[in-house]
Amino acid sequence: MEGFYTFITQQYILPFYLIVWIVAMARYRTYYDTPLKYYPMYLMYTLLTEVLGYLIKYFDEFQVVNVEKYSWYNVLIYNIYSVISFTFYYYIYWLVVKKQKHKRWIIIGALVTLASYAISLFFQDPFYSNLYYADIIASIILLFNIWLYIKEKKQEESPYPMKYNLMFWTTLGLGVFHIIYPFLFWVGYEIPQIWIDYNFRTILRISILFMYGTFLIGVIVHRRKAFR
């Protein structure tokens, strides 16, 4: 019972991921034919990654690093997750923007991101360190993609309020999170004492909860005809 209590108090985000996925599945028929049709798969992948990360950290049977001293290191799966996650969202914004010029910019940004991860492999070991410099570049490019989408959206007329647009809620959560995330991770690795002294881990978790909270609101209140 004590172990279960520890798990819940330390991994309270996991049940929230599950709730978001359940609601997204329950409402899937309202966006199954939109660019977010793979949304539930992505949410489940996120949940499974977090569960696997917990298992690697606390159970020897799931270790991915052979060195006993570092057997609890789980950064490899998060490095893989980062590449897949950014690629997924780049693809979403590539689909929703209409101007061909903007689509080309998103493709270029995706190539730059993949190149930054590849280059990082020469300087950082993905088994022992987050590829945080590449993550920072990827976040900046994602924010640029978000700006392209918002720029187009502001020029459009729609009879539906933005609150019914699933992409609005998705964009809001992603935008706020990725404004904060690169700074937090850079501090965590380059100035770890500040990360500890100012409890940046809590700030990170709050930003994650905010992001997935907007995802949850979006799948609950959105209307199919308002998607764009």
pLDDT of residue 61: 63
d(CA 105, CA 87): 14
Q: Indicate if the pLDDT at residue 2 is higher than 50.
A: no
pLDDT band at 192 (very low <50, low <70, confident <90, very high): confident
Residue with tokens 């502001």: 154
pLDDT of residue 92: 97
Question: Is 219 in contact with 27 (CB distance < 8 Å)?
Answer: yes
Which run of H or of E encompasses 214?
helix 200-221
Q: What is the pTM of this model?
A: 0.91
pLDDT band at 197 (very low <50, low <70, confident <90, very high): confident
pLDDT of residue 190: 86
Separation in Å, CA 107 to CA 10, 144, 150, 151:
38, 12, 18, 18
d(CA 19, CA 175): 22
> Amino acid letter at 83?
V
pLDDT band at 1 (very low <50, low <70, confident <90, very high): very low
